[in-house]
Amino acid sequence: MHQPPQVQFSHSIPFRTFLIVVGTRPEVIKVAPVVRRLRSVSWASVKIVASGQQRELLGQTLAEFDLKPDVTISHRDASSGPAQVASRLIHRLDRIFGEEKPDCVLAQGDTTTAYAASVASFYRKIPFAHIEAGLRTSELDAPFPEEFHRRSIAVSATLHFAPTSAAARNLIDENVPKDSVVVSGNTVIDSLLEVAATKPSPPPEFGSRRMILLTAHRRENFGSKLRDALTGVRAFVDLTPDVGVYFPVHPNPNAREAAIEILAGNPRIHLVEPLGYREMVAAIQNSWCVVTDSGGLQEEAPALAKPVLVLRDLTERPEAVASGVVELVGTSREGVFRSLDALHKSPTKYNQMARPVFPYGDGHASRRIVDALYRHFSTAPQRQDASIAALQYAS
């Protein structure tokens, strides 16, 4: 595996304090390696702020990665549209940033939490470092509201950690200063490879049947799109006796109701509660293929040599599509049925898609990120724009 260039820590830098803001399961999975690495260096301290955007999944995932939030934002108000969550969080984070006075705020991805953290940092003039920067679809509302969040974050961030060269190019095309962009790889591959190496056991339902690992919960698919897609999966499984489905169902009621209504009642379809990350990695490793609208699974499954059918028309992760191991199949019932059937009927097609490819990283993204933070803070005075050489790496 390619090793990233080592930064020579030839002189010490003043001690720096970082706040990492997380709100959802995938953010924890993706920031955990960065937190661990920042905690292993002598020049930094890091605190975790839990935004509570996803309450149960956030707590479970933090515990699984042995992380405890230093500050937890509790929500008494139950209203949960993106506007309410964003406005509450900007207000609360502003107070926290004012009290903590960190040298830098970090957040990952494109959630309302990451967006609110970037806005609150901007108002406080605190440098903001964005992990998983530069992902883009061509449409501002797909995915909704994540595409808007990530484009907005790019406007004010000081450092942009792009997972791929294409993501870095997207940023530069939007006039983000080149020297503030670092191609780091995606930290999800750090977490994935670490967990996969421990060889977690597959869920008992897997047996010897070909298992489709299914996840579906994107806001823009709720309603008829999700129902159509699940109907396509159901029709395929009803007609194909050697195939089963394993579906960890997201707690969102829109996802849950559709899953139960359309998929319950076939003994080869297993609807289960959300999995811990170890169980999830085992489920990917032992699946026949992955059918999903998730972003993270499009990154993880190719690294574990599993074909992915994506229940969307667009993706901000085109690299694995270009490699031929991920296919965008949309959400129509015929399209989903046809794609599963083609994969089942053609061993050649299956084998072409079941290859390990690593377009999103090599497992060393967190090291590149912490090295880049070191470079930035060893040269830049506090609270000033970044000047950092773009690190390129061969994936």
Ligand X SMILES: CC(=O)N[C@H]1[C@@H](OP(=O)(O)OP(=O)(O)OC[C@H]2O[C@@H](n3ccc(=O)[nH]c3=O)[C@H](O)[C@@H]2O)O[C@H](CO)[C@@H](O)[C@@H]1O
Tokens 């999903």 correspond to 292
52 near ligand X (CB under 6 A): no
Nearer to ligand X, 194 or 341 (CB): 194
Map the footprint of ligand X across residues 249-308, applying CB under 6 A: 274-275, 277, 280, 294-297, 300
Q: Which of residues 59-98 bind ligand X (CB under 6 A)?
A: none
User: By C-beta, is 279 or 362 nearer to ligand X?
Assistant: 279
Q: In what order do the strands lie in the sheet with 159-162?
A: 71-72, 44-50, 16-22, 104-108, 128-131, 159-162, 181-183
Owner of token pair 């440098």: 127
Tell me the site size for ligand X, rule CB under 6 A. Answer: 25
Cα distances (Å, whole numbers) of residue 216 to 48, 99, 261, 282, 351: 28, 39, 14, 18, 25
The DSSP call for residue 70 is: S
Least separation in angstroms between CB 108 and ligand X: 5
Among 145, 163, 203, 248, binds ligand X (CB under 6 A): 248
110 touches ligand X by CB under 6 A: yes
Which positions are annotated as active-site residues? 110, 132, 146, 217, 219, 250
Q: Which phi and psi (to 5°) does residue 287 adopt? A: -80, 165
Stretch that binds ligand X, among 77-85, 107-115, 206-214, 323-331 (CB under 6 A): 107-115
- Contact between 190 and ligand X by CB under 6 A: the answer reads no
Rounded-to-integer distance, Cα 165 and Cα 136, Å = 13
In the bound complex, what is the minimum distance in angstroms from residue 243's beta carbon to ligand X? 20
Alpha helices (runs of H) in 40-186, residue ranges in sequence order: 55-64, 82-100, 112-124, 146-156, 165-173
- Toward ligand X, which CB reaches closer, 27 or 371? 27
Q: Which residues pair with 182 in a beta bridge?
A: 161
Q: Cβ of residue 280: shortest distance to ligand X, in angstroms?
A: 4
Please tell me whether residue 117 binds ligand X under the rule CB under 6 A: no
Is position 111 an interface residue for ligand X (rule: CB under 6 A)? yes
Cα 56 to Cα 61: distance, rounded to the nearest angstrom:
9
Footprint of ligand X on this chain (CB under 6 A)?
A: 24-27, 29, 108-111, 114, 132, 143, 146, 188, 215, 248, 274-275, 277, 280, 294-297, 300
